[in-house]
Chain A
């Protein structure tokens, strides 16, 4: 090290994301951030729905047509999944803030539980919504 000039030498790079094998906690962490942005985008849909409802029947009919279409429903499904996931993992973050659940094995198991539970709750919500007709009278 002492016999070569530092600037003239190719310095080693520290390994980055694509080098590491992804533990599930790494995935849940980035999923939390992605779903946070997703939720922010989803609120635009909620606001559109609300503004249309306050505007009148025609504006509301347009929202219903767009959100009721197949692509609309897929986007709404993604939004609900994103919301539910972010809430479940957010609760885990609150426990982490209290210093609970940091053991690696615990964090990994909880990560898998959160992914599974988020999907299960979202599917349950949609099943319930379809069963109830989503409030259609």
Chain B
């Protein structure tokens, strides 16, 4: 016996079947964020107000470039997933919700690309 209402059957909408990936992605990036954000905060304390040459020299170190690159990939993915949940919670209109989630996704990918490009440019310049 099915517990679905006749209207639900007629609409034919069921589970999206991909929510678990979002849930796990949010937690996986959260775990990755713990050491990476800690590295970022330590860097900010040490070099937050550094002059141009000092800041560039610090970021150009391969270990720092790699850690900061991983930091940006992880935080922007975490941000993308988190903001999507907030939008889906509060925006009732289908069109606005779709547009905002799309905007968040575009912004997150743009942010990842921009940060990695800048890091590479600084690092390769030495």
Contact = CB atoms under 8 A, between A and B. Distances in A.
Interface of A: 33, 36-37, 39-40, 43, 47, 50-51, 53-54, 57, 60-61, 64, 68, 80, 83-84, 87, 90-91, 93-94, 97, 125, 128-129, 132-137
B44 A80 contact: yes
Interface of B: 27, 30-31, 33-34, 37-38, 41, 44-52, 54-56, 58-59, 75-76, 79, 82-83, 86, 111, 114-115, 117-119, 121-122
B45 A40 contact: no
Contacts of B118: 50-51, 53-54
Nearest to B49: A134
Contacts of B75: 39, 43
Could you tell me the dominant secondary structure of chain A's interface residues? helix
A47 B124 CA distance: 19
Nearest to A131: B45
Contacts of A53: 52, 55-56, 59, 118, 122
A50 B30 contact: no
Contact of B48 (A47, A87, A134): A134
A24 to B, nearest CB: 22
A136 B37 contact: no
Given A50-B119, A97-B27, A83 B41 contact: yes
Given A47-B111, A135-B49, A37 B27 contact: no
A57 B122 CA distance: 13
Nearest 7 interchain pairs by C-beta? A134-B49, A135-B50, A135-B47, A54-B118, A129-B45, A134-B48, A50-B118
Contacts of B122: 53-54
B54 A137 contact: yes
A81 B33 CA distance: 16
Given A43-B76, A50-B119, A53-B52, A80 B41 contact: yes
A40 B84 CA distance: 12
A134 B49 CA distance: 5
